[in-house]
Structures are given as C-alpha cells and as structure tokens.
Amino acid sequence: MKRKLVILGNGMVGHRFAEKIAEYGGTEKFEVTILGEEPRRAYDRVHLSEYFTNRSADSLYLSPSDWYRTNGIRLLLSEPAISIDTVSRKVTTSAGTELPFDELVVATGSSAFVPNFEGVDKQGVFVYRTIEDLEKIMSYAKQVSKVAVLGGGLLGLEAAKAVLDMGKESHVVEFASRLMPRQLDEAASSVLKSKIESLGVRIHLNKETKHALGDSSFQGLEFVDGSVLEVEMLIVSAGIRPRDELAKNSGIEVGQRGGIIVDDELRTNVYGVYAIGEVALHKGMIYGLVAPGYEMAEILAYNLCSPGQKTKSYAGSDLSTKLKLIGVDVASFGDALGQTEHLPIAYTNPRTGVYKKLVLSPDGKKLKGGILVGDADAYSTLLTLYLNNVELPAEPESLIVGTPSEEGSAFGSLPDDAKICSCNNVSKGDLLGAIRSGSCSDLKGLKECTKAGTGCGGCIPQMNSILKEELRAQGKVVTEHVCEHFKYSRQELFQIAKVKGIRSFEEMIRTHGMGNGCEVCKPAVASIIASIYNEPIQKHREIQDTNDKYLANIQRGGTYSVVPRIPGGEITPDKLIVIGQIAKKYDLYCKITGGQRIDLLGARMDQLPDIWKDLVEEGFESGHAYGKAMRTVKSCVGSTWCRYGVQDSTAFAIRIEERYRGIRAPHKLKSAVSGCIRECAEARGKDFGIIATEKGWNLYVGGNGGVNPKHAILLAADLDEETCVKYIDRFMMFYIRTADKLVRTSAWLEQLEGGIEYLKDVVINDRLGINKALEEEMDNLVGTYVCEWKDVVDDPEKQKRYKHFINSEDSDPTVRFIEERGQKRPVDWPKKELVSN
C-alpha cells in the first residue's frame, strides 16, 4: 500500500515540493494530498504585482489546471489544516476532514507582520500578500488619492509601485534609516531612494509609527517624533512572521521567535514530520526568499523518494536576488553588507545614479558578495564568480567599472556542477543535460525544462550564453531572439516593422509576439520604430527608460541635466551669454563636457519644459545626451585657425552633426572631425571619425572611448566631402538595420562576419545591392528631423507629464544642494565605503 504524504500549504514552496515528488517518482510510493488555504491553485508570488496590470491570475499560475490530477495528486482548496495530532498521526481540516499521514510536510509559509500600533485595525488598512489582498486594495483605492506603504523592503517597494501605477500619490514609510536594510548598505540605499523619489514616490525614513489617524476609517499616521503623514489608505508590508501556529499546538518544536525548528534533513523533532520554506527555522535562520524554499523542497523530496540512497543535506542558502523596483535595477548577493572580514570596493556614478560594490576576501582574490543599483547587467557574471568561488582577475574593480562580457568569457571552463541559477538550484550540468536531450533549443524551453531563470531572472544572460555555446558545439544554427516575447532578432524585427509599416509596440507584440513584453523588448522596439519613422520618442514614452521618458539625464539627488546641441563645438558669444543667463535664471550648475558641450545640471523635473522653452527661443535644440541616438560631433579648429590644419574640420563637423542629429540607433553614437593627423578631436576614439589629409578626408569606423576603449578602423582614405557623407550614410543605416540591441558600433564590427573587409565591400562596393536604399532611408531620417524638446514646448498636454506630483504644483521637497566653487551641487552621500570614481 502507498504511504500517505500530506502537504500543508499550496504556495510556491509546497507546489515545488509536489513537483519534485512527481519528478522523482514519488507518486508511485506515496498517496499525496495537498491542503491549500486560498481558493486557487499555486501561483507566483514573486511577480504578484503583475496582477495590477493584467487583472488575471492566468499568467501567475505555476502549473496547468489539470496538473494535480494528471500526476495523481489530491488538491483541497480553501481547506487549510486546523490541527495536527502527532500521536494518532492525523490532520484535521477546516471542513472537518480527518487525513491520516505517514509523512507530513509543513509548508504553510508566512503571514504579513502587522505592527501593533493603535488604529491599525481601521477600515482602509490592508496587507500585501495574496491575490485576494490585491483585489481588496484595488477596490478600496478607487475612493482615495493618497496611499502610504508601511515597509521599505522588497514587497513594500513593489506595493509602492503598484500604488503609483494606479495613479495615486504614493508614500513609503520605513522604520530603519535606509530602504531594503537587509540587502543594501547606506550608499546603495541612498542611490535607490533618489531614483525612486525622482519617479514620484515619497520616501520617509527613520519613522516609528505611534498611531493611526481617523475615526472609523484610516486617515493617516502620526509618528513618535511628532510628525504626521496625511493619507487615506495604508498598505502594510513590514516583514513576515512564520505560520507556525499548528506546530505550537501539536508539540512540534518551534524557535523562541517563531519558526519550526528543522535539522539539515529538514526534519522536526517529531518523527515523519518535516518543514520547508518560510515556516522552517534552520540553524537560527528563517529565509524570506523563495529560492531557499525551493532548495529545501528539492532536498526533502529527493530524500523521501530515495530510501537507501545517501541523503542530501541542507546547508543553508544564498540570499542573492535581482529585481527591478519601479524601473530601477537592484541586485545583491553573498555577504553584501560585509559582515565578515572583507575588503570592499565601491563605484558610484552621480551622473547616472549607479552604485556598485564588491565585497572581496581579505587577500582580494575571491568575491564574497556585492550590491548593484541602477545598473545590474553584471549580476549574472558576478553571481557566477561568487557561487563557484572563482579566482578574480588582478584588477577586480574592472568587474564593476563597465559590464563584464558574457560571451567568450572564462565561464565556459566552469565544471558542470557549477551553480548558475541560485533561485532554483540549477547547475551548468543541469542546463547542458536539458539542451543535449533535444527538448530545449531556445531560452524559453530551457526555462520550462529546468526552471532556471524563472525566479529573479538574474541568471538569464549566463543561461543564454551556455545555450548558444552548446548549440554551436552541436553544429546548430543559433537564433538571436530579442527576448522570450519575440522569436525574432532585432534585425528581423527591424525588417518586419519596415516592411509591414508597424508603428507601435502594441501592434508589434500583437502581430508578431506574445505576452505583454518586458524591459528588454519594449525600448528595443521603440528604438526600431524611431529609427525607421523618426517620430518623437515621446510617442513611445511609456516603454522607455527614465532618460528618454523625460528627455534629460537623471542625476544623483533626483534632478536632471540639460545639454543643448552645439554642433561641432562652435558657439557664438551671444549664445554663450544666453546659456549663462538661462543657467543663472534656473540656478543650474555649468560644466563643459568632454564632447565640447555645456551641461546644465540640477534642473528639477518640473523646470525642464521652461528651460527648454527659453533655449529653443534662442535657437538651441536638444543635444540628445539622454538617448540611444547620434549625440555629438567633436572638432578642432582646423585650417581656419590652426597653423597645422589642412582642412576646415569645424565646418565639416557642423555639417555632419546637423545631418545626423537625433537619429536613433541600437546604441549611442559619437563622432569627431580632426583637421590634421595630430588628431586633436580624437576622431579615432569615436563610432565614426574623420581625419583631414592633404587630399581630402580619411573615414574611420567602429571606435569608442569609455571603459574598454577601441580605436576606429580605416574604412576609406582621401575622400571628398560628398563621398565621405555618402559612406557615412550607408555605414550608419547598415548598423541601424543589423546590430543587436544596445550594441555599440565597435562590438558590432567585431561580431560582423568578415569584419572590416566585409563592411568595405558592403559600403563601398555595394556587395548586397542595398546602398541606394540605405541612402534613401538616411535622407528620410534627415528630412523628418524634429527637436524633441520643441515637440514638448509646443504641446501643453505633453508638458503636464513633467509635474513632480500628479495632484500638486509643488516641486520635489527632497532635492537638496550645497555650494562649492561658486556653484551648487547635490549634497554628499554618506561615505562609509571606499568609493572609486
């Protein structure tokens, strides 16, 4: 006869345990019953906030509706256990059903911790844990305009985003001195706070709640320091408490502060009774993330299904996580806060609001942890180094100053047991096995087969690299899909949009994609459409990142920088005076950039349209410093002034910049024109550069500065101006047509089969027979240019988007400056780390 296995809880961990029982053949040995408290089958709580957008649980369910029946598992919904009898070994449910058990697994998870202050039970106070909670929140929110979220952790910030998406004034109240205090240090939290505040969420730190305001319904909070926050609704997301009440009442041992005590095999003090997930207390630790619960579920399922085999032990879990909070990338891994002996290295970029920290071993050879805010592209690489104890390069700071490459890295030499996905405990060998079985030939299939990449998603780049490498090793054609929502490369999507006249993301995903899209495909498609039709990027505003959304670069402290175009770096005294007058009028910090432009920093969001209006009226236009577009053409004074100059580099630079201004591309584009071989404009460090010769102009392509500088390569020599412009037209359009998303011309040229010789054959010899079309496409972009700032200045409706608060004319009260060298700058962040700029 089958042994009776009862699982208490049908959340993510309980469901994963049932999956593993079925996978390991346990349904042949056990008669499995699952008791679920909620009225629906298991769903993904990690992406719970997506319910606000989709209004449906279909995309959140972890398995098809018939999965339980197909696998011979009995599921009882809305019927939680109310008691456990460890003597007679039976469970009683809320419906009065008595279920005998041989093995019992407690996976009841946790409940929201609600602080015990006066008035917390008023109407208008909600917790944020289940789909039913979200439905109540959405219903009540219809009658309010201001909402506070109590708790600045992961779920709290997700709740704040949901409030913002509902069009409500959103506040976050946190007891600690920083946001996400368990994952981020003070400096990282400060960056995150500034970014979130710039999007309209108001943050209140160091706030201990005294009591709730209002009579029968909630009307706000009064804090211990005497301050008051007037809001009409409160969402509590202040932490979790393990659901261990059944254990307490049945003789199962629990910890002093809660949680069912388990050993390394997840056993409780009662024979045959186990605990996994957020209810389990292992070596004094309760894990509030899903990945440790999944690891516990897999270990316990293996041990129960493999008697006589060597048992697996649970040694604790890594708490690494990567997520996007209100559009801001945040990741942490390992000993992120440096609680053990360590050597910290931190990097901060005030211009872009990026903070990165590595926690190294004392000898600097091993990675022990890290934090990424604002740019988490390196997370997959760093996590792999950490999880597999890989020795670091001689200059480990290179791992965070720039983005380490996934392709062609040293990770191909990792052993098969190297862990790739910590959320689901998937190794490189597991991925390779799934690919070699023939059932997983794309990223979506690999995720479905192995569950890797379905948690925080931070391992997806590494998965993709392993997938491509293995498929190539098998002699198969490797497809370059934009993401899981489109089975097309960027180049293919470009052709689809052009041939079929697609002019919106909604039409593209409806006709050629699936799902709702993501932060990868949305800006990629927006860029493609802008590159074809040259419409103002504001038409696709809601699928852009912050810089393109506001046509300005967001800076440290939540302000923006304004960079007007100054073609070729040439500017009259009158226009210099105008910029100075505007800077004084709006109290902006002035800085000459490396690209011969004047950067006006410190502008509040609500000031941007007024600043643009003043600039536009004086003949200035957007310099596109915020966009993946043509930005600057730098020049020297050339033969006009310089005794060494052989051609008029300034005039040619102005012509080039005015021709290609604002043209959207897969990545930013920069150029320069030097008047002689002394190269004062640094043309060979640009995406395309032009250097004067006695006979004309030499054209170089595929260079860039930055972290990994590349010298541009000679495409053609001694050209006249018209031929040079014609070749640039062809080069740029060929790049725009064929490059992958976010790939600079240097990387594109390196990846281009045949390299520079092939490019010459295409651009100069018309190998593909497309040069006439490339020239016509460029002429169309040049002829349809519109200044994006002027587009906003001329449209009162678009100007409304630049209010800091939806229902108030007030500006951001958190923006603070100090004076330095006669100008203002943002206040300093707390300096508690070694900071490298």
How long a stretch of residues is the chain?
Answer: 837
Binding positions for siroheme: 680
**In Å, how far are 581, 585, 604, 655 from 794, measured between CA atoms?**
22, 21, 20, 27
Q: Which of 756, 746, 753 is nearest to 711 (CA)?
A: 746
pLDDT at 351: 67
DSSP 8-state class, residue 541: G
Alpha-carbon span 313 to 299, nearest angstrom: 7
Q: Which CATH superfamily is domain 3-109+243-306 in?
A: FAD/NAD(P)-binding domain (3.50.50.60)
Q: Helix-strand-coil percent breakdown of the chain, rounded to 5? A: 35, 25, 45
Alpha-carbon span 529 to 509, nearest angstrom: 13
* 553-783 CATH, one of 3.20.20.70, 2.30.180.10, 3.30.413.10, 3.30.310.10: 3.30.413.10
CB 590 within 8 A of CB 823: yes
In the predicted model, what is the mean pLDDT of residues 581-598? 92
User: pLDDT tens for residues 174-217?
Assistant: 999 999 888 888 989 998 998 888 888 999 999 999 999 998 89
In the predicted model, what is the mean pLDDT of residues 679-697? 95
User: pLDDT tens for residues 505-541?
Assistant: 999 999 999 988 887 888 889 889 988 998 877 777 7
Alpha-carbon span 108 to 8, nearest angstrom: 6
Q: Is 263 helix (H, G, I), strand (E, B) or coil?
A: coil
DSSP string, 406-429: STTSGGGGS-TT-EEETTTTEEHH
Q: Lowest mean pLDDT of 22-31, 91-100, 366-375, 407-416, name the range.
A: 407-416
In the predicted model, what is the mean pLDDT of residues 671-689? 94
Q: How confident is the model at residue 337 (pLDDT cuts 50, 70, 90)?
A: confident
Q: Is 496 helix (H, G, I), strand (E, B) or coil?
A: helix
pLDDT > 50? residue 404: no
Binding positions for [4Fe-4S] cluster: 636, 642, 676, 680
User: pLDDT tens for residues 656-674?
Assistant: 999 999 999 999 999 999 9
pLDDT > 60? residue 379: yes
Domain parsing of the chain, residue ranges: 3-109+243-306, 112-240, 321-400, 419-474, 553-783
* Residue 213: φ, ψ to 5°: -90, 160
Residue type at position 572:
T
Q: Lowest mean pLDDT of 323-337, 405-419, 681-695, name the range.
A: 405-419
CB atoms within 10 A of CB 778: 22
Q: What share of the chain in percent tops pLDDT 70?
A: 94
In the predicted model, what is the mean pLDDT of residues 718-741? 95
Q: Which CATH superfamily is domain 112-240 in?
A: FAD/NAD(P)-binding domain (3.50.50.60)
**In Å, how far are 314, 317, 366 from 391, measured between CA atoms?**
26, 21, 5
pLDDT at 477: 66
pLDDT at 805: 66
Residue type at position 506:
E
* 321-400 CATH, one of 3.30.390.30, 3.40.50.1980, 2.60.40.420, 3.20.20.140: 3.30.390.30
CB 745 within 8 A of CB 706: no
In the predicted model, what is the mean pLDDT of residues 397-419? 59
Q: Would strands 233-236 and 146-150 be described as parallel, antiparallel, or unpaired?
A: parallel
pLDDT > 70? residue 496: yes
Residue 30 C-alpha from the chain's centroid: 42
Alpha-carbon span 427 to 298, nearest angstrom: 14
- Residue 342: which region, alpha, beta or left (left: phi > 0; alpha: psi -120 to 50)? beta
Q: Do domains 321-400 and 553-783 have the same CATH topology?
A: no
Alpha-carbon span 728 to 738, nearest angstrom: 15
Q: Which helix (H) or strand (E) holds 322?
A: strand 321-325
DSSP 8-state class, residue 553: E
Q: Which helix (H) or strand (E) holds 274?
A: strand 273-275
pLDDT > 60? residue 408: no
Per residue, the 3-state secondary structure of 280-293, as one string, reads: EEECCECCCCHHHH
User: Which residue matches tokens 């209004």?
Assistant: 55
Alpha-carbon span 414 to 412, nearest angstrom: 6
In the predicted model, what is the mean pLDDT of residues 489-495? 89
Q: Which of 241, 235, 245 is nearest to 120 (CA)?
A: 235
pTM of the predicted model, to two decimals? Answer: 0.56
pLDDT at 400: 79
| 316 contact partners, CB below 8 Å, separation of at least 6 | 282, 283, 285, 292
DSSP string, 710-732: B--EEEEEEE-HHHHHHHHHHHH
Third-level CATH fold of 419-474: Arc Repressor Mutant, subunit A (1.10.10)
Q: How confident is the model at residue 836 (pLDDT cuts 50, 70, 90)?
A: very low
pLDDT > 80? residue 40: yes
**Token pair in block for residue 29:** 């040995």
Q: Over the chain, what is the mean pLDDT?
A: 87
Binding positions: 636, 642, 676, 680
User: pLDDT tens for residues 531-577?
Assistant: 899 887 777 777 777 778 788 888 866 788 999 999 999 999 999 99
pLDDT > 80? residue 825: yes
Alpha-carbon span 663 to 783, nearest angstrom: 11
**Token pair in block for residue 176:** 């600690």
Q: How confident is the model at residue 406 (pLDDT cuts 50, 70, 90)?
A: very low
Residue 752 C-alpha from the chain's centroid: 28
Q: Lowest mean pLDDT of 156-170, 626-640, 815-829, name the range.
A: 815-829
